[in-house]
Structure 1
Amino acid sequence: MSKPFLLGVILILVAVGYQYREALQSLLPDSIKRDIKSNSPKSSNQQTPSTEAGPSIKNFPDPQYYNPPFDPEHPSEPIYSKSGTRLITLNELAAHGHNGTLRPLWLAVVGRVFDVEKGAEHYYGPSGGYNFFTGRDGSRGYITGEFNDEGLIDDIEGLSLAQIGELDGWVKFYDKDYTFVGKLIARYYNKDGSPTKEWYKYQRSLTDKDKLDAETAKLKKRYPGCNSHWTQDEGGKVFCSTGSGGTQRDWVGYPRRYFAPGSKNWRCACVRDDDLNSVHVKMYPLCDPVSVECKVHPDQIAKLRETGG
């Protein structure tokens, strides 16, 4: 059978489509049929065995993390990212912890592993008050104060922006005072050392917190706090000056109850003429609207806070 004839048959197969594929292929010699079959793409639902080492069930059975067994007596060769950063598995980190046998002591915060051996005597050693942080990423515990296995985890889902900022303070503390060892292959870093989706989510939260802090500072400058004074004879009062609320300015303002956007709680703020009609401010009861001070009674304040008025 000539090659032009075979080429014509193949072109017909392409044009006619899958419906007549089997019938047309029957016209071909067996050798050609075998070639077609061997070079056909595999079905999309066919599973391909993974060549990567599976996760160890020694200490951390979570299948989403690369975590091969680690023998402290015969440590495997260290692994590094392409940029040269040391990469550490959960089992290796555990071997350098409170239940492990290797020194120096290590701990992790948001996936960053630190050598805390220099603080072993007072803080991280067997008799130290922070020994339970070693050998794991207990990021959540730094914020919640839950120093048990359920609380000393790397999952920070649900923490407020303020708490995320506090956690970042711990990361900066360890970066400054202790030695950075490498990145933990777990929630925040992949096997190759690249950031995970959770790491990017954490970074977005830090960015959102910075924006919130900037907006809060802006509002504090626009609505500076009041001064307050209380005596047994005269009772209490709130008043405004050019330096009240710790903000030096060239205007005084009038005492008002200021409600931050989205909040039912309020604080006393000194408000300029331009902002007196803002939906975020309310007058103190029985206070002269153009006075720079207002008399207040504790019972009155308590009632206002209870009612949110």
Structure 2
Amino acid sequence: MRSLWKLATSPASLAVLSVAVVITAALVGYTYKKPTRQRLWTTDEIVLYNGTDEGTPILLGILGSVFDVTKGRSHYGPGGGYHHFAGRDASRAFVSGNFTGDGLTDSLRGLSSVEMKSVVDWRGFYMRTYVFVGKLIGRYYDNSGNPTKYLKGVEAKAARGAQLLEKQKLEEDKLPSCNSKWSERDGGEVWCDSGYPRLVQRPFEIALTGRMSKRCVCFKEEELQRPGLEVYKGCDHLSKSCPV
């Protein structure tokens, strides 16, 4: 036993062991090189972590926050459904659905408060799900890592969107919504268990999305003279169900 111990601790054996450790570490490093601690990133740096090299992590930016999404390699790596997000900040695409060309940009210019709220919510999802590794210098953070006026503006508009959505929900809860269904064979239908279906303007919708929209509400017969109520096209005045 003592001779085996001497052999294991001999200079030659220790040298072999050291080489083995170095080789093992190199192999481990090749398999997964962790990014450095939380730091500032440039666009030229983050693009190198786009998943095309299996030996490096996959990074993703949203609103200037950078996340390590390597554990989702099957989604963010080459061939994955979200590969277009890897190695860049494509904040706009999270709500636009445009995953090509100019759609893969960090600019949110022209988006509504609701859409900006959605992007901020996506950032929250990544904060909860993946590893935050720093900030991307550019539109959202300056060279010192401080938030820019652009980021503050986005967050303020998103907060206003959240407030308006809550107000709209409270208002709409005061009026009972219609039941609805749709099938490829029969098309769509709305109906009321009690009352009659009418289309009404959604409150706050213009402020939220910049567009007008309507929803179906059930009204009692004595309420049908209220201004702003619209009968579905092709539906009888006192029908409890209407095709759509």
TM-score, length-normalised on structure 2?
A: 0.65
* Partner residue, 2:106: 154
CA distance in 2, matches of 1:127, 1:254: 50
Deviations 1:23-45, CA, capped at 9 Å, x for gaps = xxxxxxxxxxxxxxxxxxxxxxx
* Partner residue, 1:216: 168
Deviations 1:183-238, CA, capped at 9 Å, x for gaps = 111111111111111101111221121122112211221122124699xxxxx773
The gaps in structure 2 that reach 5 residues or longer are: 1-35, 183-188
Q: Secondary structure at the residue paired with 2:61?
A: strand
Please tell me whether the aligned partners of residues 96 and 134 of structure 1 are also in contact (alpha carbons under 8 angstroms).
Answer: yes
- State the 1:240 CA deviation: 4.3
CA distance in 1, matches of 2:101, 2:202: 38
Structure number with the higher helix fraction is 2
Which is further off, 125-134 or 272-281?
Answer: 272-281
* Partner residue, 1:45: none
Structure 1 pair 278–202 and aligned structure 2 pair: CA distance change class (3 A): farther
Structure 1 pair 136–277 and aligned structure 2 pair: CA distance change class (3 A): same
* Partner residue, 1:135: 87
* Partner residue, 1:108: 61
- State the 1:163 CA deviation: 2.5
CA distance in 2, matches of 1:136, 1:147: 12
CA distance in 1, matches of 2:230, 2:54: 63
CA distance in 2, matches of 1:226, 1:175: 37
* Partner residue, 2:97: 145
Aligned 1:35-54 pairs, distance under 5 A: none
Structure 1 pair 266–131 and aligned structure 2 pair: CA distance change class (3 A): closer
Q: Secondary structure at the residue paired with 1:93?
A: helix
Structure 1 pair 102–152 and aligned structure 2 pair: CA distance change class (3 A): farther
Q: Percent identity?
A: 35
Aligned 1:81-230 pairs, distance under 5 A: 86-98=39-51, 103-120=56-73, 122-227=74-179
Please tell me whether the aligned partners of residues 114 and 158 of structure 2 are also in contact (alpha carbons under 8 angstroms).
Answer: no
CA distance in 1, matches of 2:129, 2:179: 39
Please tell me whether the aligned partners of residues 140 and 156 of structure 1 are also in contact (alpha carbons under 8 angstroms).
Answer: yes
- State the 1:171 CA deviation: 1.3
- State the 1:155 CA deviation: 0.6
Structure 1 pair 178–265 and aligned structure 2 pair: CA distance change class (3 A): closer
Q: Secondary structure at the residue paired with 1:223?
A: coil
* Partner residue, 2:4: none
Question: How large is the Cα RMSD of the aligned pairs?
Answer: 3.4
Please tell me whether the aligned partners of residues 95 and 101 of structure 1 are also in contact (alpha carbons under 8 angstroms).
Answer: no
Please tell me whether the aligned partners of residues 223 and 270 of structure 1 are also in contact (alpha carbons under 8 angstroms).
Answer: yes
The gaps in structure 1 that reach 5 residues or longer are: 1-77, 231-235, 242-252, 289-293, 302-309
Which among 209, 218, 224 is matched to residue 270 of structure 1?
218
TM-score, length-normalised on structure 1?
A: 0.53
Higher relative contact order (CA 8 A, sep 6+): 2
CA distance in 1, matches of 2:104, 2:181: 45
Which is higher, the Rg of structure 1 or of structure 2? Answer: 1
Q: Secondary structure at the residue paired with 2:157?
A: helix
* Partner residue, 1:287: 237
Deviations 1:117-154, CA, capped at 9 Å, x for gaps = 2222x122334333332221111222223223422110
| Number of matched pairs | 195
Aligned 1:225-236 pairs, distance under 5 A: 225-227=177-179
Please tell me whether the aligned partners of residues 258 and 282 of structure 1 are also in contact (alpha carbons under 8 angstroms).
Answer: yes
Q: Secondary structure at the residue paired with 1:187?
A: coil
